[in-house]
Structures are given as structure tokens and as C-alpha cells.
């Protein structure tokens, strides 16, 4: 092995050792946070995690990795604490787009939960349709809000409803604005890890006059199982960091406004 190869492999070995050390002290780590910590790309971290998962050292999760003894997907509440500063910045930018008297659709996503926290203190009168019981409980702190909670098959980990009953309920209403997130954002559009998640988000987008998508940098990556909608169905994307050039070009070509919450 050449000296150059050794120098190239040392940072990778150190990264992976540090990732294991982090997971010894916390249940999960986030791709975006690791990329920033080690000054590498998100794709490099994904390769690290994939390799370590193949060796049985950790488990891949939604947007990151978990210690093997806590390998389940993080709950909505847990995800809301991951990359919290970035989520709060995006929520602040999104809240500025909401006006009293509007009807909103809000999905069961971590960044939308941060948005809910802001709206409770910054707005006086809104109607919000959501499938998230966590979101509804947070929004209920404002007595001027009317909250319509979609029924459906209950997911205890997400504390939210899904399935045909949920999407049929959402389909009954018209909204001024939909705020949503996704499992991944690609040039083909937002995607999700499961059909139930995708179906609810898709219906919310269809029933709203305009849609704002909130995505952090960890979601600029390989697509998930199911496409939610085409990019042309999205009006605005709010990110914590600028997306890759190819994705930025696709957003521009689809007429999507891009805002960086830095």
C-alpha cells in the first residue's frame, strides 16, 4: 500500500471510529450533522454508514444511523431534536409565509412540528388540517386555532393516522397552503419511505392552493420507495443549505422557488 493510499484511508478510519464512539453515547446520529462534523459530503457519510451496517456495527435509519440496541426508526419527537437549529431556521422562514385566517395542511414531519411551535405564538387565527396527533396537541395551545385531526390507522411511533380513511378525510377539504417534508428530495420530486406516508402527503398537496416543502441537507440524496409528486406540484422549497447544483437546476426548471434558511 502506498503512502498516499494510507493518508487517504486514515480519515475514513478515524471517521468510522468516531461514529461508533458517538453511538456509544447517544442512540442515533444524523447524516447532515456527521457531514458537517467531519467536513465531508453527505454521500461520503452514507458510504461510511452503509459499510459499517454491512459489518454489523450499526443500523441504518431514516436519515442517519442508530446503535444496534436502538435500531428502530426514530420517532417524530426524536427526529425533531435532530438537526434542531436548522429545523428552527426553516420553520421561521416558513412561518413568515403564513397569514391569519388561512387554512393550512401540515403533515406529520419533524420540521413541520417546529413550524407548529412558531405559529402558536406568532399567529392568532388559523385552521389546520393534520394527520399528526403530536402536531394537533402542540397547536391546541392557541385557543384561536381550529384543528381538524385526520382519522385513520394509527401509527403509535409517529403518533399519527395513515391509510385510506386518513386520505379520504383530507380529500374533503380545501386549503390555502400545505407545509410538508419528505424522506428524500430528488430531481424527480419528493419521495417517501412508504406508500402510506406518500399517499397522505400527496393528498394534502393536491388539496392546497400552494405547497411549501421543508427539507434539510440530509434529504438531498438517493430517492426513497415512492414518489409523492412531481416537482411542478411544489411552489417553494425551504432548505437549511443550498442543494447540489443538479437539484437546484431541476427546481429552477420546474418553476420552484428556492429559499435557504441560513
Residue 232: count of CB within 10 angstroms of its CB? 11
Residue 10, pLDDT score: 38
58 and 126 part of one domain: no
Which CATH number do you get for residue 166?
A: 3.40.50.10470
Using one digit for the tens of pLDDT, what is the confidence trace for 170-194?
A: 999 999 999 999 988 999 999 987 8
Q: What is the mean pLDDT of residues 217-235?
A: 87
10 and 108 part of one domain: no
Please give the full DSSP string across 119-187, using - where no structure is assigned.
HHHH-S-EEEEESBHHHHHHHTTSTTEEEEE--SEEETTTTEEESHHHHHHHTT--EEEEEE--SEEET
Of the candidates 195, 206, 129, the one whose C-alpha atom is nearest the C-alpha of residue 163 is 195
Q: What is the mean pLDDT of residues 29-33?
A: 85
Element (H, E) at 90: helix 84-95
Whole domain around residue 156: which residue ranges? 81-260
Residue 73, pLDDT score: 52
Residue 247, pLDDT score: 95
Residue 105 has pLDDT above 70, yes or no: yes
The CA-atom distances, in angstroms, between 190 and each of 32, 69, 231, 233, 249 are 18, 31, 7, 10, 15
Query: Which of 41, 73, 105 is where one domain is finished?
Result: 73
33 and 58 part of one domain: yes
105 and 146 part of one domain: yes
The grid cell for 19 is 461514529
Q: CA gyration radius for the chain?
A: 19
65 and 97 part of one domain: no
Least confident of 33-47, 77-91, 196-210, 238-252: 77-91
89 and 166 part of one domain: yes
114 and 219 part of one domain: yes
With cell 465531508, the residue in question is 40
58 and 101 part of one domain: no
CB 66 within 8 A of CB 59: yes
The residue ranking higher by pLDDT, 7 or 238, is 238
% helix, strand, coil for the chain, step of 5: 45, 25, 30
pTM exceeds 0.75, yes or no:
no
Residue 74, C-beta contacts closer than 8 angstroms, at least 6 positions apart: 27, 28, 61, 62, 66, 82
Query: Which of 73, 97, 122 is where one domain is finished?
Result: 73
The residue ranking higher by pLDDT, 35 or 1, is 35
138 half-sphere exposure, CB direction, 13 A CA radius: 23
Of the candidates 177, 164, 162, 157, the one whose C-alpha atom is nearest the C-alpha of residue 131 is 162
Q: What is the mean pLDDT of residues 151-177?
A: 94
61 and 107 part of one domain: no
Residue 56, pLDDT score: 83
94 and 186 part of one domain: yes
Residue 95, pLDDT score: 98
35 and 142 part of one domain: no
Element (H, E) at 259: strand 257-260
Query: Which of 73, 106, 123 is where one domain is finished?
Result: 73
113 and 23 part of one domain: no
CA trace torsion 166, 141, 112, 79 (10° rounding) = -100
CB 237 within 8 A of CB 257: yes
- Count of domains for the chain: 2
Q: What is the mean pLDDT of residues 35-45?
A: 89
Residue 1, pLDDT score: 40
Residue 21, C-beta contacts closer than 8 angstroms, at least 6 positions apart: none
Q: Which residues pair with 177 in a beta bridge?
A: 104, 210
Which CATH number do you get for residue 51?
A: 1.10.10.10
With cell 385552521, the residue in question is 127
Residue 25, pLDDT score: 63
Amino acid at each position: 500500500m502506498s503512502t498516499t493510499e494510507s493518508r487517504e484511508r486514515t480519515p475514513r478510519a478515524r471517521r468510522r471510529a468516531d461514529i461508533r464512539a458517538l453511538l456509544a453515547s447517544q442512540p442515533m446520529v444524523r447524516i447532515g450533522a456527521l457531514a458537517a462534523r467531519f467536513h465531508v459530503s453527505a454521500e461520503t457519510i452514507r458510504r461510511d454508514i452503509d459499510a459499517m451496517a454491512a459489518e454489523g456495527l450499526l443500523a441504518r435509519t431514516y436519515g442517519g444511523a442508530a446503535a444496534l440496541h436502538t435500531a428502530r426508526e426514530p420517532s417524530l419527537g426524536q427526529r425533531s431534536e435532530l438537526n434542531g437549529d436548522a429545523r428552527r431556521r426553516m420553520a421561521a422562514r416558513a412561518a413568515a409565509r403564513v397569514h391569519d385566517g388561512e387554512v393550512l395542511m401540515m403533515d406529520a414531519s419533524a420540521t413541520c412540528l417546529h413550524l407548529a411551535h412558531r405559529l402558536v405564538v406568532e399567529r392568532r387565527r388559523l385552521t389546520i388540517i393534520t394527520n399528526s396527533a403530536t402536531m394537533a396537541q402542540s397547536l391546541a395551545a392557541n385557543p384561536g386555532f381550529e384543528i381538524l385531526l385526520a382519522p385513520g390507522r394509527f401509527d403509535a411511533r409517529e403518533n399519527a393516522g395513515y391509510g385510506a380513511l386518513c386520505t379520504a378525510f383530507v380529500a374533503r377539504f380545501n386549503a390555502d397552503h400545505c407545509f410538508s417534508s419528505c424522506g428524500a428530495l430528488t430531481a424527480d420530486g419528493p419521495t417517501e419511505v412508504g406508500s402510506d406516508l406518500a399517499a397522505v402527503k400527496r393528498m394534502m398537496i393536491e388539496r392546497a392552493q400552494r405547497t411549501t416543502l421543508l427539507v434539510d441537507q440530509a434529504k438531498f440524496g438517493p430517492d426513497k420507495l415512492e414518489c409523492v409528486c412531481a416537482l411542478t406540484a411544489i411552489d417553494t422549497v425551504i432548505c437549511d443549505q443550498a442543494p447540489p447544483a443538479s437539484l437546484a437546476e431541476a427546481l429552477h426548471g420546474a418553476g420552484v422557488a428556492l429559499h435557504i434558511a441560513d
